[in-house]
Amino acid sequence: RSEGRPPAMAEVKWEPTRFTEVIRSYASHSNKEVDRVRRNLLGLSDDDKAELTWKAEEQIRKMEEAVKANLAFLEELSELIAKSPAPPSDGRPQFEAPHGTKPIQTLLQTFTREWSAEGLRERGECHDKLLGAVDSHLKAKKDEAVASGAAPPRVLVPGCSLGRLPFDLQGRGYACSASEGRVLQYFGGELMRRTAGKREAHRIQPFAINTCNRFKKEDHVRETPVPEVEVPEGSMPEVHFGDFLRLYGRASDLAAYDAVVTAFTLDCSPNVLRFVRTAAHLIRPGGLWTNFGPLAYDTDHDEGHGHGIELSWEELRHAISHFFDVKEEEFVDSLQAANGESMMQIQYSCIFFTAVRNDKEAVGIGEK
Q: Give Cβ neighbours of residue 149 (< 8 Å, ≥ 6 apart).
A: none
Any idea what DSSP says for residue 367? Answer: -
Give pLDDT, residue 197: 86
Give pLDDT, residue 51: 97
Per-residue pLDDT tens listing for the chain (368 residues): 333 334 444 556 899 999 999 999 999 999 999 999 999 999 999 999 999 999 999 999 999 999 999 999 999 999 999 999 988 765 555 788 899 999 999 999 999 999 999 999 999 999 999 999 999 999 999 999 999 999 999 999 999 999 999 999 999 999 999 999 999 999 999 999 998 789 999 999 999 999 999 999 999 999 999 999 999 999 999 999 999 999 999 999 999 999 999 999 999 998 999 999 999 999 999 999 999 999 999 765 444 444 578 999 999 999 999 999 999 999 999 999 999 999 999 999 999 999 999 999 999 998 75
**Which bin fits 350, alpha (ψ -120 to 50), beta or left (φ > 0)?**
beta
Give pLDDT, residue 368: 56
Which strands form 175-180's sheet, in the order they lie side by side?
Answer: 239-241, 175-180, 154-157, 257-263, 283-293, 348-357, 324-334
Is the sign of the CA dihedral 168, 169, 175, 181 positive or negative?
negative
Task: For 325-346, give one letter per residue: b (16+ CB within 10 A) or e.
Answer: eeeeeeeeebbbbbbbbbeeee
pTM of model > 0.75:
yes
Give pLDDT, residue 89: 67
8 and 52 Cβ atoms separated by less than 8 Å: no
Give pLDDT, residue 353: 98
Give pLDDT, residue 301: 46
What is the pairing mode between strands 348-357 and 324-334? antiparallel
Q: Considering only CA atoms, give the Rg of the chain.
A: 22
Task: Give CA–CA dist 238/234, Å, rounded.
Answer: 9
Among candidates 284, 249, 204, which has minimal Cα distance to 92? 249
